[in-house]
Structure 1
Amino acid sequence: MTTAIDLFAGLGGWSTGARMAGVHVLWAANHWPEAVHWHASNHPDTQHVCQDLHQADWTQVPTHDLLLASPCCQGHSKARGKKNGNPQHDASRSTAWAVVSALEFHRPYAALVENVVDFLKWALYPAWCAAMNALGYQLATHIVDCADLGVPQNRPRLFIVCTLSEAPLQLNLPKVEHVPAASFIDFKSARWSPIHKPGRAAATLERIKAGRAAYGDRFVMSYYGNTKSGRDINRPIGTITTRDRWAVVDGDRMRMLTARENLAAMSFPSTTKHPDNHRLTVHMAGNAVPPLAGQRIIESLLEAA
């Protein structure tokens, strides 16, 4: 397998991982023009299409050996699922059927599908699996903490290995030493603010107090989620999301992670081109597949196939 396509390509986590694994991504698609622009900036040798993949004409897609896909996860996520009453998420769950459509036409030997673990709880997941099986694909589910693959972030994710094989292909994934958050945090950054300043929320001060008691003067803390007392910088950071989540505390000063630190936490190379807009970069980074995780999963697939 030497060629691939990337569905729902976003900023290009799968594509970057594929390139690091020696796989050439021929074609990439996303419905968001901004994402397509930045993916093209980082992957100029790839053909790009800005399109809702429900309407894709697969005859226009080049023949390939491997399909890479990250269907929209918001509709499956506990944080932003259908219980929140957003009909957009009902539509987002249906994006997984684009994978079936693409495979039905091209029949590459393998596909790798990434999503949140709750994808397995989707009411139509059994039907989706049945459709994949009807095309001849055997499915092997892998629930992976990306930190075990060397990403400096605890990020549990589902990777489904789909192969035209007689039996599901279970990958022998490496499990490497965890990389700490301290590896990408720049303490020399000048954009700090005093912890004790007018308007600082009492709850924030309480989290800082608890974090300092547990980890000393330097630690990271989450502004939402289950982390209430901070997190040791000598372990991977928690999950990077599509909006600012993590703050760095250093003595009597603090700041949010920079856009570049968010990208590094996701294991994007330092040369990755990204928007000047902080919020946009954070969104794209948090929505991506960590490239290093993608690389190691693709390498394991190539070794096993």
Structure 2
Amino acid sequence: MTKAADLFAGLGGWSTGAQQAGVEVVWAANHWPEAVKWHTANHPRTQHVCQDLHQAQWELVPAHDLLLASPCCQGHSKARGKASGNPQHDASRSTAWAVVSALEFHRPEAGLIENVFEFTTWALYPAWVSAVQALGYQVAPHVVDCADLGVPQHRVRLFLVLTRSKAPLMLQLHRHQHVPASTFLDFSAGKWSPIEKPGRARATLDRVRNGRDRFGDRFIMPYYGKGSGLTGRDINRPIGTITTLDRWALVDGDRMRMLSADEALAAQTFPKDTHRPDNHRLTMHMAGNAVPPLAGRRVIEALQEAA
């Protein structure tokens, strides 16, 4: 496989991983102008389209032998709710059908689809799989913690491997040593504030106290939410999932700050020279939605080895 098309391209995690694996990304699309702007900045040789892929003109897409896609996951994710009858979530779930349309027109050798695991519990998932199979593709689901691929982040995601083979193709994804969060955290940078200050929430102070008891003066903790919320996390292990909003706080002695946008991108394994918005919130949104490039690269390389 030498050429790929990237649907729902975002900041370009799939595209960056593909290029690192030696695959040329010839076409990329997203409905959000800001995403297309920054994907173009990082992949200037790729042909870009800004449009709702329900209205895509597939005949205008260059020939490719690998389809990459990360359909909108918010309608499936536990974090955002997935109840039917919510127009916004129902519309986001329907983006997966663009993958079927793209496959039908171009019939590439293979496709790689990334989403949250809850994608498989979607009421229309069996129909979606049937549509893909009707086009001659086998569907092999892989549930992967990206930390096992060398990404310094525990991020469990579903990778669907679509191949024109006689049986579903299960990839040999080699397990790599976990990379600690300490490799990308910079305790000499960022905007710090005192932990003990007027207005600091009691829950935050409780998290800090519990984290100190377990990990000492330096650790990471969620600023909100569940999971590691009561105990924090050791910086000598991968960080938890990078989300589209500020979630992770660094504690260093009597001071704390939120994870920076550059640290979030590093946790996602984007190269240091990645072009990004100056706006912190916008960068965090794009980073949290992205496929970690290293994970994308290793999945593509495993597909290449198996082909």
Aligned to 1:300: 302
Q: Percent identity?
A: 73
Report the counterpart of residue 236 of structure 1 in structure 2. 238
Partner of 2:167, secondary structure, is coil
CA distance in 1, matches of 2:100, 2:73: 16
Q: How many Å separate the matches in 2 of 1:106 and 1:154?
A: 34
Q: Note the alpha carbon deviations across 1:95-136, whole angstroms, 9 max, x for none.
A: 000000000000001000000000010000000000000000
Tell me the CA shift for residue 13 of structure 1.
0.3
Residue 82 of structure 1, CA deviation: 3.0
Distance 1:168 1:87 in 2: 34
* Aligned twin of 2:262: 260
1:144-185: per-residue Cα shift (whole Å, max 9, x none)?
Answer: 000000000000000000001111111000100000001000
Which residue pairs with 1:284 in the alignment? 286
Runs of 5+ consecutive residues of structure 1 not aligned to the other structure: none
Tell me how far 1:264 sits from its aligned partner: 0.3
In the other structure, the counterpart of 2:89 is 89
Deviations 1:41-81 (A, max 9, x none): 00000000000000001000011010000000000001112
Q: Which amino acid aligns with 2:160?
A: I
2:227 is aligned to 226
**1:211 and 2:175 aligned:** no
| Residue 193, structure 1, aligned to residue 193, structure 2 | yes
CA distance in 2, matches of 1:86, 1:122: 14
- Cross-structure match for 1:274: 276
**Per-residue Cα deviation, 1:236-279 (whole angstroms, up to 9, x for no partner):** 00000000000000011100000000000011010100000000
Q: Give TM-score, length-normalised by structure 2.
A: 0.98
Secondary structure of the 1:285 match is: helix
Looking at structure 1, the residues matched to 32 and 261 of structure 2 have their Cα atoms a distance apart, in angstroms, of 20
Secondary structure of 1:26's partner?
Answer: strand
Is residue 84–residue 90 contact of structure 2 (8 Å, CA) maintained in 1? no
Q: Which amino acid letter does the alignment assign opposite residue 106 of structure 1?
A: H
Give the structure 1 partner of residue 38 of structure 2. 38
Within 2, Cα distance between the matches of 1:190 and 1:14?
Answer: 29
Distance 2:289 2:186 in 1: 23
2: distance between equivalents of 1:194 and 1:34?
35
- For 1:215 and 1:25, the matched residues in 2 are separated by 43
Query: Which position in structure 1 is the counterpart of 2:144?
Result: 144
- In 1, the alpha carbon distance for the partners of 2:58 and 2:236 equals 46
Hey, what's the Cα distance between the residues in 1 that align with 2:205 and 2:37? 40
Give the match's secondary structure for 1:154: coil
* 2:3 equivalent in structure 1: 3
* Aligned-CA RMSD value: 0.9
> What is the deviation of 1:87?
2.0
Partner of 1:154: 154
Call closer, same or farther: CA 1:190–1:9 in 2, change over 3 Å: closer
Q: Tell me the SS of whatever aligns to 1:83.
A: coil
Q: Measure the CA separation in 2 of the matches of 1:249 and 1:15.
A: 34
Structure 2 counterpart of 1:276, one-letter code: D
Please tell me the residue identity of whatever aligns with 1:114: E
Alpha-carbon distance change, 190 to 33 in structure 1, aligned in 2, over 3 angstroms: closer
**Structure 2 residue runs without a partner (length 5+):** none
2: CA distance, partners of 1:79 / 1:187: 29
Instruction: Report the residue type matching 2:129 in the other structure.
Output: C
* SS of residue paired to 1:97: helix
With normalisation by structure 1, the TM-score equals 0.99
Q: How many residues align?
A: 305
In structure 1, what is the Cα distance between the partners aligned to 2:164 and 2:198?
A: 61
User: What SS does the aligned partner of 2:89 have?
Assistant: helix
Structure 1 CA distance, aligned partners of 2:89 and 2:231?
Answer: 32
SS in 1 for 2:83: helix
1:111-190 paired onto structure 2 within 5 Å:
111-190=111-190
Q: Which amino acid aligns with 1:10?
A: G
Tell me which residue corresponds to 1:50.
Answer: 50
